[in-house]
Amino acid sequence: MQMDASIGARLDRLPLSGFHWRLLGLIAAGMYFDSFDIYIAGTVLAAMIHSGESTLSLNAAFVSVTFIGMMTGAWLSGLLGDRFGRRFCYQFNLGIYGFASIAAALAPSIYWLIFFRLVMGVGMGAEIVVGYGTLSEFIPADWRGRFGTILNLIINTSLFLSTFLGWLIVPQYGWRWMFAIAGCGALVVWFLRKSMPESPRWLASRGRGDEARQLVERIETACGGAATHTASAPGSSAREFEPGDTGRLPDLFSRRLLTRTITAITVLVALFTVNYAFVSWIPTFLVKQGHSVSNSLGLTALMFAGGPVGSLIAFALAEHLGRKWGIVVFSLVCAAFGVAYPFAQSAVAITALGFAITCCIYVLSSFSVATYVPELFPTQLRLRGSGLANTAGRAVSIAVPYAVAGAFTRFGIAGVLTLIVGTLLIQALIVGVLGAETKQRSLESIAADAAVTSEETVEGGATAAIK
């Protein structure tokens, strides 16, 4: 732990420099194409239905294997990333995704396309775990939250690009070019990422102290050497793991980390539930409420403009309000907007409330998946913890469409909003009670607090037993 803290303190003392922005760019580029490929599914599947190459049932299979692949990838990335290193994992998963995308562009039938989509899904699910986790281990504590929100903002702009290119390319040149663009882009980033360094924190956690120190010295040289601020010192000398101890998966459910694991799973299950229940279904809700398809899509576009605004709000608040209380506050704010939404009658009111809800969802996305979840776990278990939480979130997202459809059929839009509001209130309660605040703190300090809390619980129990 002392070696980890020393390496972490040196990384946190570094001035923000071109090294950090270049790292952000390379991670963001890979995750951008990952997200781009998720969003092209609707355009591609619609084109294949029109051309007679697919059917509704086969399209459903395509969507299902995407989620299965992403769930599998999220789980495997945690195991591989903590075992073989961040550098190996982000190159491995991006290579899988890139080559599978090229293969999808050449697929001779929808059945082969579904198979390649499953493989692509593994790479896509892994990228979100490794990307956010790796970034958190390099960025100084004072900027870690803001960099996570910037990364989240960049990734979410892929929705516009994929939609625009689909409109421009698919009618003229066919759907295959969409996969070709995504695959070629991913492989270019894969080549550029070969120059990215391994995480010094991970090296130190594996007992490879000399390599970690040498790498940090090179990074310090690249950043100009001198520090511009004092890093947050580790809050405790409590040791989470012995030197060189890589941790075990059951440790995520040990007394010292159980509350962190519950918190991480809660925020990602809540995020995916709310996101898929509202963002993915809002055009359908509007049509069912009597709006024309054209009017529905126009209102939806205005609502979704809240996404970038939400990411910018998260950027402004990440190091002030903090991640824990940011999630609690915006869960409650979003729930309030959700309660009001069923009572909106005019198009202006519906659009304004939809904009506000979308904005809150993207604030929560920036705080939770982009920043908070990777911060909760020690280096030895960071990707396994994040991978477990993402796996749980993806698993729940498979069932969300059925829950939304059932709620809407029986209770209308009020039923769906009740599902969303209930999920947000549960999240606010669990994070408020169990969550740890992480803003402007070193990762080592956050990890040490888990051990201290565990020791205090054990000591308190022992004292009570003696009395």
Residue 140 pLDDT = 94
pLDDT at residue 266 is higher than 90 = yes
Distance (Å, whole) CA 456 – CA 450: 10
pLDDT band for position 3 (50/70/90)?
Answer: low
**Percent of the chain residues topping a pLDDT of 70:** 87
Residue 75 pLDDT = 93
Distance (Å, whole) CA 203 – CA 208: 5
Q: Which CATH number fits domain 2-222: 3.80.30.20, 3.40.50.300, 3.90.1720.10, 1.20.1250.20?
A: 1.20.1250.20
The mean predicted confidence, pLDDT, of the chain is: 85
pLDDT at residue 454 is higher than 80 = no
Residue 465 pLDDT = 39
Residue 455 pLDDT = 47
Tell me whether domains 2-222 and 251-458 share a fold. yes
pLDDT at residue 29 is higher than 70 = yes
Residue 265 pLDDT = 97
The structure's pTM equals 0.85
Q: What is the pLDDT of residues 220-243, one digit of tens each?
A: 999 886 444 444 444 444 445 555
Q: Which residue has the higher pLDDT, 465 or 245?
A: 245
Least confident span in 144-153, 182-191, 405-414, 432-441: 405-414
Any idea where the domains of the chain sit in the sequence? 2-222, 251-458
pLDDT band for position 245 (50/70/90)?
Answer: low
Q: Give the residue-averaged pLDDT of 266-293.
A: 78
- Cα separation of the two ends of the chain: 34
Residue 102's alpha-carbon distances to 31, 94, 179, 394, in angstroms, are 17, 12, 6, 25
Q: Give the residue-averaged pLDDT of 42-58.
A: 84
Residue 405 pLDDT = 82
Q: What's domain 251-458's architecture?
A: Up-down Bundle (1.20)
Q: Are 397 and 73 in contact (CB under 8 A)?
A: no
Least confident span in 224-228, 393-397, 413-417: 224-228
pLDDT at residue 353 is higher than 50 = yes
Q: Give the residue-averaged pLDDT of 207-224.
A: 91
pLDDT at residue 365 is higher than 90 = yes
pLDDT at residue 114 is higher than 50 = yes
Q: Are 277 and 404 in contact (CB under 8 A)?
A: yes
pLDDT at residue 98 is higher than 60 = yes
Distance (Å, whole) CA 242 – CA 187: 38
CA angle 447, 451, 454 (to 5 degrees): 140
